[in-house]
């Protein structure tokens, strides 16, 4: 069993340390050091089309509804999931641009509709998450519930969620829609599990990994799987792309959990510290409690449960090496994702899939 899915906390394997060596060499395949914006280049036309789908779809004749949709039309998002879907599709399709997707719609159209749909679902989850966490800032702007209240925000999330399936249906791919549906369902299941475990800071690491695999990694995994499927990959290859996306998503969430405790709100662009305030156990907390001697452990547990002195709790986690530990686990996931991406035939899209992996652990927002 991989150390990252085990019920026990383990020392990150040497794969974590290996990445520092790999990261010195990954530029070779892509011809030098890569800037974040370069990752988007192989699918720039697709992404522009996705933006215009989002703009056209999220409009209403009713001014109030239009204002809501305008707010959610997602300025400032990194578009990671559409990017993963499009790159996976292009990596599978290679240079054969005339291909049709499995269900007859042109590959261009079907991947673009599905990429817009995954971004809508992702945004719906953020709108609902901000209600649950009562977070005030998202994508550097006031959250929907701060502007319109909880009731309207829940409806906005519902609107985005349902509209996503309307857009997905335009892809003409029943298989992709089925993946998107089951994946969205698992995201909700993960979020429900997380809410059930509020303040259970002594939870098994395996439970934490299961929660983040569902609430975050699932949509990254299905994005990659849908892209591969649309481009004609068989079941086995589609699964490999999903595994790649899941590793990225796991790393992404672990980094997010570390940033929630150590990041700067100005850089990250959202309210931080909400995990602790809302009693959500995350990897640094679980790790610190598992390595501390009894008296310290009791003190940290009190701080976590009361949420009274966040700085003191963060200091104790820092001292326990828990942020380093969590970062190493994230790096291990990235190493596995990167190794798969390197096994693909070299194209601009597969090069981006290689490089995107390293950016997940380096990200600050
Ligand atoms: C409506 C399908 C649906 C589900 C509701 C609330 C909920 C159930 C799920 C929440 C899942 C969630 C918010 C997981 C966190 C994922 C995460 C790390 C989001 C941040 O993603 P970024 O950084 O955001 O890609 P941007 O703003 O760049 O798009």
Q: Under 8 Å CB-to-CB from 209, ≥6 apart: which residues?
A: 4, 5, 250
Q: Which residue, by CA, sits nearest to atom 7 of ligand 1?
A: 125
How far does the centroid of ligand 1 lie from the alpha carbon of residue 102, in Å? Answer: 29
Closest CA to 124 of 110, 108, 109, 138: 138
pLDDT at position 97:
52
Q: Which residue, by CA, sits nearest to atom 3 of ligand 1?
A: 125
Ligand 1 mutation pick, 118, 187, 190, 270, max ligand atoms within 8 A of CB: 187
How far does the centroid of ligand 1 lie from the alpha carbon of residue 249, in Å? Answer: 11
Whose structure tokens read 């640094």?
Answer: 284
How far does the centroid of ligand 1 lie from the alpha carbon of residue 352, in Å? Answer: 23
C-alpha 30/C-alpha 73 separation (Å) is 33
How far does the centroid of ligand 1 lie from the alpha carbon of residue 95, in Å? Answer: 33
Structural contact between residues 125 and 187, judged by C-beta atoms closer than 8 angstroms: yes
Q: Which residues line ligand 1 (CB under 6 A)?
A: 77-78, 80, 121-122, 124-126, 128-129, 132, 139, 157, 161, 184, 187-188, 191, 215-216, 252-253, 256
Ligand 1 mutation pick, 144, 216, 248, max ligand atoms within 8 A of CB: 216
Instruction: Write the secondary structure of the chain as one string of H (helix), E (strand) and C (coil).
Output: CCCCCCCCCCCCCHHHHHHHHHHHHHHHHHCCCCCHHHHHHHHHHHHHHHHHHHHHHCCCCCHHHHHHHHHCCCCCCCCHHHHHHHHHHHHHHCCCCCCECCCCCEHHHHHHHHHHHHHHHHHHHHHHHHHHHCCCEECCEECHHHHHCHHHHHHHHHHHHHHHHHHHHCCCCHHHHHHHHHHHHHHHHHHHHHHHCCCCCCCCHHHHHHHHHHHHHHHHHHHHHHHHHHCCCCHHHHHHHHHHHHHHHHHHHHHHHHHHHHCCHHHHCCCCCHHHHCCCCCHHHHHHHHHCCHHHHHHHHHHHHHCCCHHHHHHHHHHCCHHHHHHHHHHHHHHHHHHHHHHCCCCHHHHHHHHHHHHHHHCCC
Biggest alpha carbon distance in the chain?
66
How far does the centroid of ligand 1 lie from the alpha carbon of residue 192, in Å? Answer: 13
CB atoms within 10 A of CB 298: 12
How far does the centroid of ligand 1 lie from the alpha carbon of residue 217, in Å? Answer: 10
pLDDT at position 18:
30
Ligand 1 mutation pick, 129, 132, 217, 254, max ligand atoms within 8 A of CB: 129
How far does the centroid of ligand 1 lie from the alpha carbon of residue 200, in Å? Answer: 22
C-alpha 286/C-alpha 36 separation (Å) is 32
pLDDT at position 365:
65
C-alpha 138/C-alpha 311 separation (Å) is 22
* Assessment of whether the complete model's pTM goes beyond 0.85: yes
Tens of pLDDT, residue by residue, the chain (365 residues)? 233 444 556 555 433 333 232 333 334 454 456 788 899 999 999 999 999 999 888 888 887 777 778 777 655 688 999 999 999 999 999 855 555 555 556 888 999 999 999 999 999 999 999 999 888 888 888 888 998 899 999 998 999 999 999 999 999 999 999 999 999 999 999 999 999 999 999 899 999 999 999 999 999 999 999 999 999 999 999 999 999 999 999 999 999 999 989 887 777 777 777 788 889 999 999 999 999 999 999 999 999 999 888 899 999 999 999 999 999 999 999 999 999 999 999 999 999 999 998 888 776 66
Q: Which atom of ligand 1 has the smallest separation from the CA of 132? A: 6
Q: Which residue, by CA, sits nearest to atom 6 of ligand 1?
A: 129
Q: Which residue, by CA, sits nearest to atom 10 of ligand 1?
A: 125
Structural contact between residues 135 and 129, judged by C-beta atoms closer than 8 angstroms: yes
Q: Which atom of ligand 1 has the smallest separation from the CA of 128? A: 6
Strands 137-138 and 141-142: antiparallel
């Amino acid at each position: 069993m991989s150390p990252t899915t085990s019920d026990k906390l383990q020392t990150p394997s040497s794969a974590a340390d290996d990445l520092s060596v790999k990261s010195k060499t990954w530029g070779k395949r892509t011809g030098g050091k890569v800037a974040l914006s370069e990752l988007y280049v192989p699918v720039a036309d697709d992404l522009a089309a996705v933006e215009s789908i989002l703009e056209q779809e999220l409009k209403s004749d009713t001014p109030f509804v239009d204002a809501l949709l305008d707010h959610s039309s997602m300025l400032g998002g990194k578009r990671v999931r559409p990017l993963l879907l499009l790159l996976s599709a292009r990596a599978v399709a290679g240079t054969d641009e005339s291909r049709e997707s499995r269900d007859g719609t042109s590959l261009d159209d079907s991947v673009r509709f599905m990429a817009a749909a995954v971004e809508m679902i992702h945004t719906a989850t953020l709108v609902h998450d901000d209600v649950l966490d009562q977070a005030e800032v998202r994508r550097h702007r006031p959250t929907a519930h701060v502007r319109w209240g909880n009731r309207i925000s829940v409806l906005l999330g519902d609107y985005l969620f349902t509209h996503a399936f309307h857009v997905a249906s335009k892809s003409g791919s029943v298989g992709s829609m089925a993946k998107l549906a089951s994946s969205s369902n698992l995201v909700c299941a993960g979020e429900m599990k997380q809410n059930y475990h509020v303040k259970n800071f002594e939870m098994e690491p395996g439970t934490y990994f299961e929660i983040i695999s569902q609430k975050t990694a699932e949509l990254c995994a299905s994005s990659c799987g849908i892209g591969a499927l649309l481009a004609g990959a068989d079941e086995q290859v589609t699964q490999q792309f999903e595994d790649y996306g899941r590793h990225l998503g796991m790393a992404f969430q672990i980094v997010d959990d570390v940033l929630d405790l150590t990041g700067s709100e100005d850089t990250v662009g959202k309210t931080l510290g909400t995990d602790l305030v809302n009693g959500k156990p995350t990897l640094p907390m679980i790790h610190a409690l598992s390595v501390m001697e009894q008296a310290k452990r009791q003190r940290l547990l009190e701080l976590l449960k009361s949420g009274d002195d966040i700085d003191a709790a963060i200091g104790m986690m820092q001292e326990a090496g828990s942020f380093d530990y969590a970062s190493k686990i994230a790096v291990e996931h990235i190493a596995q994702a990167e190794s798969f991406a390197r096994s693909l035939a070299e194209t601009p899209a597969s090069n981006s899939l290689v490089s995107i992996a390293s950016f997940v652990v380096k990200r600050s927002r």
